[in-house]
């Protein structure tokens, strides 16, 4: 049998979505199956590069240069024995086992890549989630979102523009003011608020002093009674205290009713003036998932069993934020968290190998290893959970160290230990030769 015929007869595993979970899965499969010619692995994503989504609030504030931390899918595929295809899935033909990718246009609107099909034997959908504005009046028109690198960079540009405009104004004028409103005091909203305060201090240090740190008015709005409502109060309380010390204005206990160009109107009648408005509350899976002919819930998540197989097609898997996976506890589902996607990617890599070998699939059991919230350079708060230690509360530098280690673990899954250590050394050297804040 020829090599070409052998290659064509290999099982085809198609992974759609190159977020943290999807990229980790494709990398693991490439190393263990692709390298040994046991399967053909293909990753599909709408972008050419990957950046870890939990870092987008740092990109928005300018604390992180996204170009320095991005990963190129083509290079990653080459290094790890899988294939990459640029495109966005919009439909599935389950009988023929093919997915359809939309056509791609260039910057002039001309067709660059025509609509096309890609076949599969096993399909994995890991397209993540988008922010859910709950159809709030005016939110889609007047708010910024932090779902993608491009959105985070746009917020950063708008923030810098206001600083540059103020800096160029007449010297005789008093200090300018900027009002920022962040809707949603979950992890993203809280971390963005702290990161923006840190950015304001750095901008002043670099000479952009027409807007003082105290003149950047940061409003954090939460419909629930407290910040971080999904986490224990023992984490929420110290975070609340730190935010107040930083001068962040907290507005809890009332949802946003209307968003206008001038600001927010809350359900309790309070008006919050804001020139920059960021919606960071709630999630929903991409809308196209509801039109694939598979079972979905009200926020477009694909219904899956604990094997991560979709309920209507055993050859199609879904995991991460775009999947509704039961925990087996009182009808609860696995929370949309990075650690869950990482755990599921690890299990799926094993299960797909077992599937090819004709072995039974293992079931996913969610393990909560705790939560960590970074408050920029000011502090970090969280808890670690384990079988031996129980729940351990962390604050300050130790919590910050564990928070940073989460990203390093993600890098190790993608690059391996030696290259991650080199990246850590490179980051250390680069921090002494580059500005501490992106200024463009």
Domain boundary among 325, 356, 387: 356
pLDDT by residue for the chain (440 residues), tens digit each? 445 446 678 999 999 999 999 999 999 999 999 999 999 999 999 999 999 998 899 999 998 887 778 899 999 999 999 999 999 999 999 999 999 999 999 888 889 899 999 999 999 999 999 999 999 999 999 999 999 999 999 999 999 998 888 888 766 455 678 999 999 999 999 999 999 999 999 998 888 888 889 999 999 999 999 999 988 898 999 999 999 999 999 999 999 999 999 999 999 999 999 999 999 999 999 999 999 999 999 999 999 999 999 999 999 999 999 999 999 777 899 999 989 999 999 999 999 999 999 999 999 999 988 888 888 887 788 877 654 445 676 777 777 777 778 888 888 888 888 888 887 787 777 665 556 677 66
Q: Residue 372 in 3-state DSSP?
A: strand
Same domain, 265 and 290: no
Domain boundary among 356, 384, 404: 356
Same domain, 269 and 158: yes
**What's the rounded Cα separation, in Å, for the pair 337 and 197?**
25
Helical ranges in 12-148 per DSSP H: 20-29, 56-61, 66-69, 73-80, 139-142
Same domain, 53 and 168: no
Beta-carbon contacts of 271 under 8 Å, excluding residues fewer than 6 positions away, are 263, 264, 265
On whether residue 170 sits in a domain, the answer given is yes
DSSP code for 174: P
Q: What is the CATH number of the domain that holds 309?
A: 3.50.50.60
**What's the rounded Cα separation, in Å, for the pair 97 and 117?**
10
**Pairing mode of beta strands 130-131, 283-284:** antiparallel
Beta-carbon contacts of 79 under 8 Å, excluding residues fewer than 6 positions away, are none
Angle at 29 between CA 23 and CA 34, to 5 degrees: 120
On whether residue 24 sits in a domain, the answer given is yes
Same domain, 318 and 276: no
Region of 323 (left: φ > 0; alpha: ψ -120 to 50; beta: rest) is beta
Same domain, 123 and 32: yes
Q: Which domain holds residue 225?
A: 139-281
Same domain, 275 and 289: no
Phi, psi for 277 (deg, rounded to 5):
-125, 125
Beta-ladder partners of 84: 43
On whether residue 334 sits in a domain, the answer given is yes
**What's the rounded Cα separation, in Å, for the pair 154 and 143?**
12
Same domain, 148 and 257: yes
Same domain, 76 and 186: no
**What's the rounded Cα separation, in Å, for the pair 334 and 386?**
18
Which pLDDT belongs to residue 289?
Answer: 98
DSSP code for 321: G
Q: Give the C-alpha distances (Å, rounded to integers) separating 58 from 11, 64, 340, 377, 401.
A: 40, 5, 22, 12, 17
On whether residue 232 sits in a domain, the answer given is yes
Task: Give the pTM.
Answer: 0.91
* Structure token pair of residue 174: 């008093």
Task: Please give the biggest Cα pair distance in the chain.
Answer: 83
Q: How many domains does the chain have?
A: 3
What strands lie across the sheet with 370-375, from one edge to the other? 370-375, 379-386, 390-395
* Structure token pair of residue 336: 């949309």
357-371 pLDDT, tens digit per residue, is 999 999 999 998 888
**What's the rounded Cα separation, in Å, for the pair 219 and 274?**
8
Which pLDDT belongs to residue 5?
Answer: 43
DSSP code for 31: I
On whether residue 265 sits in a domain, the answer given is yes
Q: Give the C-alpha distances (Å, rounded to integers) separating 336 from 50, 197, 292.
A: 19, 27, 21
Helix, strand, coil proportions of the chain in percent (round to 5)?
Answer: 35, 25, 35
On whether residue 361 sits in a domain, the answer given is no
Asked if residue 82 lies in contact with residue 42, where contact means CB atoms within 8 angstroms, the answer is yes
On whether residue 76 sits in a domain, the answer given is yes
On whether residue 437 sits in a domain, the answer given is no
Asked if residue 381 lies in contact with residue 232, where contact means CB atoms within 8 angstroms, the answer is no
Same domain, 262 and 145: yes
Same domain, 84 and 22: yes
Burial class, 265, CB count within 10 angstroms (exposed 0-12 / middle 13-18 / buried 19+): middle
Q: Cα 25 to chain center, whole Å?
A: 16
Same domain, 7 and 125: yes
Domain boundary among 247, 281, 315: 281
Same domain, 299 and 244: no
Nearest one of 181, 184, 163, 155 to 63, comparing CA atoms: 155
């Amino acid at each position: 049998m020829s090599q070409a015929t052998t290659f064509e007869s290999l099982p085809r595993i198609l992974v759609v979505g190159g977020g943290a979970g999807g990229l980790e899965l494709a990398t693991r499969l490439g190393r263990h199956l692709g390298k040994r010619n046991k399967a053909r692995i293909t990753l599909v994503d709408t972008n050419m590069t990957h950046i870890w989504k939990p870092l987008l609030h740092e990109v928005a504030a300018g604390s992180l240069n996204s170009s320095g931390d991005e990963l190129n899918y083509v290079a990653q595929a080459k290094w790890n024995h899988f294939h990459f295809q640029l495109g966005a899935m919009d439909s599935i033909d389950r009988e023929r086992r093919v997915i359809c990718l939309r056509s791609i246009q260039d910057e002039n609107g001309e067709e660059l890549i025509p609509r096309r099909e890609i076949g599969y034997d096993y399909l994995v959908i890991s397209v993540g989630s988008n922010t859910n504005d709950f159809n709030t009046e005016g939110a889609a028109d007047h708010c910024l979102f932090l779902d993608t690198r491009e959105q985070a960079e746009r917020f950063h540009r708008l923030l810098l523009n206001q600083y540059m405009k103020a800096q160029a104004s007449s010297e005789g004028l008093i200090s300018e003011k900027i009002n920022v409103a962040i809707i949603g005091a979950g992890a993203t909203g809280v971390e963005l608020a702290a990161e923006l305060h840190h950015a304001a201090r750095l901008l002043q240090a670099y000479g952009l002093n027409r807007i003082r740190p105290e003149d950047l008015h940061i409003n954090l709005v939460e419909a629930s009674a407290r910040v971080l409502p999904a986490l224990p109060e023992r984490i929420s309380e110290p975070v609340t205290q730190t935010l107040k010390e930083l001068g962040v204005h907290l507005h809890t206990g009332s949802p946003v009713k209307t968003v206008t160009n001038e600001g927010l109107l809350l359900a309790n009648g309070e008006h919050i003036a804001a020139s920059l408005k960021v919606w960071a509350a709630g999630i929903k899976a991409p809308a196209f998932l509801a039109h694939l002919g598979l079972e979905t819930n009200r926020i477009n998540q694909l219904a899956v069993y604990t094997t991560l197989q979709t309920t209507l097609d055993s050859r199609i898997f879904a995991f991460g934020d775009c999947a509704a996976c039961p925990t087996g506890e009182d009808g609860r589902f696995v929370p949309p968290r990075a650690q869950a996607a990482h755990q599921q990617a690890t299990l799926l890599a094993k299960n797909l190998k077992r599937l090819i070998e004709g072995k039974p699939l293992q079931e996913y059991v969610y393990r909560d290893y705790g939560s960590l919230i970074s408050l920029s350079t000011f502090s970090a708060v969280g808890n670690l959970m384990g079988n031996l230690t129980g729940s351990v509360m962390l604050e300050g530098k130790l919590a910050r160290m564990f928070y940073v280690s989460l990203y390093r673990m993600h890098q190790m899954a993608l690059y391996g230990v030696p290259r991650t250590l080199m990246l850590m050394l490179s980051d250390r050297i680069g921090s002494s030769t580059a500005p501490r804040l992106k200024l463009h």
